[in-house]
Structure 1
Amino acid sequence: MRQLIDVKIKSKSVKAINNGYPLLSKEAVKTSEAKIEEGSILRLIDPAGKYIATAYYGIQNKGIGWVLTHKEQEKVDLKFFIKKISEAVAKRESFYEAEDTTAFRVFNGEGDGIGGLIIDFFNGFYMVSWYSEGIYSFRESIYQALSEVVDVRGLYEKLRFNKNGQYLEQNDYVSGEKGEFPLIVSENGMKFAVDLNDGAMTGIFLDQRNVRKRLRDHYSKGKTILNTFSYTGAFSVAAVLGGVTGTTSVDLAKRSLPKTIEQFAVNDIDYEAQDIKVMNVFDYFRYAVRHELKFDVVVLDPPSFARTKKMTFSTAKDYPKLLKDTLKITNDDGVIIASTNNASFNMKKFKTFIDKAFTETNTRYKIIEEHQLPEDFIVPHNYPEFNYLKVVFIRVMN
């Protein structure tokens, strides 16, 4: 039997929750959490005992739970999940109908009303990512709801939460057809190979779809492009299909080489005509300076945090240095596509990193485009902090 618990909310947090803020933080509650089980339904009440909202208890890095409804009589049951998933699917109708794109986000956590739950679509297959033990306790109802709303060719899941101090990042087949991987999906007419059963990541970051299209359609023809932290080379594929004279893809992970070759191959691109480097990006910058290499376009999409034997890198403190290193190997009138998915700072702060780097190198610049999460990555209304992606196209003016 699932616990139903009254939880008192501190006065300073009541207004935010009433206004639609979806995250329940530890600091917001008065009630002791000692005996609350993951997945418990929380009836949130103000200091006077008046009902505010219904949430579930699920610990993840952002907080201790998520608001599900502001209707006191609404039950969190199969009907509730069918309603939420149906609403989310309806908002993505144009994606389902698109012939040139077969990979997109169907359900984006708190943006679609259930924090901690992510559902992605890959050419008929669905992949569900669970970010807390609390939301995972609703697994059976959510899977049943999904199957009643859409035709599921095959279902996979990823568990991405702590349990007994152990961080779980696993994935597994759940039901339906078992995929033959790599599975080929389309994105704006480009092809990408994905694997839903191979570790934490699939082979493509869906949130960069619009950025890849802009790179292909407007910034590639006749250019040389450096793709740093290149992962499986998706930006490099977009650049080649846009008519570049050459790409260089750099990533420290050994598996980036075969994965990048695979992405080129499914697009009928001769990978031997492209340059793929397995090395530390910062070492490559020094290598490029020594060999007097310069590029027309540089893509910077680093992880929020990375550690190697030689160094640690954090976008929150090291992005200006990364940009300064990049400027040394960027042609005048070149373009730097600076990106980060670090949710700890906003676009305004990100632009201060950019300005710092250009000011300290006495280089003029112009921001020519800005991007955040694409249309299928819906975020809560009026709470831009949940829009974690920040991409800025910068023209080097010197």
Structure 2
Amino acid sequence: MTTLLIKDNYVKELKNGYPLILKTALENEDAAIEEGTLVQLVDKQGQYIATGYYGVQNKGIGWVLTRKENEQIDMVFFVKKIREAVTQRENFFEADDTTAFRIFNGEGDGIGGLTIDFFNGFYMVSWYSEGIYKFREDVYAALAEVVNARGVYEKKRFNVNGQYVEQDDYVSGEKGEFPIIIQENGMNYAVDLNDGAMTGIFLDQRNVRKALRDSYCEGKTVLNTFSYTGAFSVAAALGGAMKTTSVDLAKRSLPKTIEQFSVNAIDYEAQDIKVMNVFDYFSYAARHQLTFDVVVLDPPSFARTKKMTFSTAKDYPKLLKDALAITAENGVIIASTNNASFNMKKFKTFIDKAFKDAKKRYKILEQHQLPEDFQVPHNYPEFNYLKVVFIQVL
């Protein structure tokens, strides 16, 4: 185990439960440490603060695992953490209309860099640093002790020798016949656990899709931008939308969206599915004087095309302003972002700026952050990265 000396101004936060080990918190940051090394954090007096592991990812250089000096980091430790997380989600396992949710949410459940999702009997483990991946055998043994999995898959999402690895692999149990169909609040979605970084559904938007279906779509026209596999479009159609339009630049969004409509017995030919740049679509819709009653905006945090670079931190007000131009009177915009670099308060300033620039008034109808299966660390809301605001255009 390597000892890391923590600067005075970081000690209190770490003792209070802050889960991340920041490079700026270290007195001896020059030390070359191997990924996956257990590290003991101490103050300048040599007093114990916590034990963690060294694993570089975009947020820091490692995560705290325990604040008990004598606790061993072994399979027993991982069993305890996973069992606690699964117990907290018993109501999800018992639900008869939802068969996909997160059972372990990284630092929120006590192990930063590791998430585990449940998909109708299958489990998908995502690893966000080479450091946590070094504990792979103990984690899989622990998972097998706590749950009875049909099959287990993994996704590696970290840098190795400066190269970003993003690969998925079968681990154990039954091999899935993909796509498998999961249920979410009674809606069907096709997912593939062995097809790159994405599965076909973002589980953190579950409550948002339900709200869209239940309260906003009856008899309405719905535009779903950055639509990916059309999950919001499915929710809208099932909520009684007159018509949905799904727009995404990725070519595979067309067959994937058709698949999602089909597994819900929705006639996809009665819906519009456009493979094009969202900003080009805004121009096209404005030229053709198209307007929509509901517009869903859920862009990636960062995207680059041949013509432009888009970043939510900088360009969200412009995105909203473009959407406003094609939103019907009294229409609703569902503005969403998963960019962790700013909070809900800041996000609302983007909304305010867009409406002021467009000389329009608005009312916030409801807002959402991460659903209850996406646990976040107590006292540290900055780890609650999802921000969704339902805005009515007045």
| Paired AA for residue 375 in structure 2 | I
Paired residue for 2:263? Answer: 266
Cα deviation 1:169-213 (Å, max 9, x = unaligned): 000101100000000000000000000000100000000000000
1:124 aligned onto 2:121: yes
| Paired AA for residue 257 in structure 2 | T
Paired residue for 1:247? Answer: 244
Paired residue for 2:92? Answer: 95
Task: Tell me if structure 1 keeps the 8 A contact 2:8–2:44.
Answer: yes
Gaps of 5+ in 2: none
1:19 aligned onto 2:22: no
1:56 aligned onto 2:75: no
The 2-side partners of 1:35 and 1:390 are apart by 37
The 2-side partners of 1:32 and 1:391 are apart by 37
1:180 aligned onto 2:177: yes
- In the TM superposition, what are the counterparts of 1:189-204 in structure 2 within 5 Å? 189-204=186-201
- In the TM superposition, what are the counterparts of 1:141-180 in structure 2 within 5 Å? 141-180=138-177
The 1-side partners of 2:140 and 2:306 are apart by 42
- In the TM superposition, what are the counterparts of 1:1-398 in structure 2 within 5 Å? 4-397=1-394
Give how far 1:5 is off: 1.0
The 1-side partners of 2:224 and 2:143 are apart by 37
The 2-side partners of 1:377 and 1:97 are apart by 17
Give how far 1:35 is off: 2.8
The 2-side partners of 1:12 and 1:108 are apart by 28
Q: Compute the TM-score of the two structures, normalised by the length of structure 2.
A: 0.99
Give how far 1:144 is off: 0.2
The 2-side partners of 1:108 and 1:387 are apart by 11
Cα deviation 1:204-253 (Å, max 9, x = unaligned): 00000000000000001010000000000000000000001000000000
Task: Tell me if structure 1 keeps the 8 A contact 2:10–2:25.
Answer: yes
Give how far 1:86 is off: 0.3
Q: Compute the TM-score of the two structures, normalised by the length of structure 1.
A: 0.98
RMSD between superposed Cα atoms in Å? 0.5
Deviating above 4 A after TM superposition, structure 1's stretches of 4 or more consecutive aligned residues are none
The 1-side partners of 2:127 and 2:205 are apart by 21
Identity %: 77
The 2-side partners of 1:32 and 1:298 are apart by 47
Cα deviation 1:25-71 (Å, max 9, x = unaligned): 00001124533111111111001100011111000000000000110
- Helix, strand or coil: the match of 1:65? strand
Give how far 1:152 is off: 1.0
| Paired AA for residue 147 in structure 1 | A
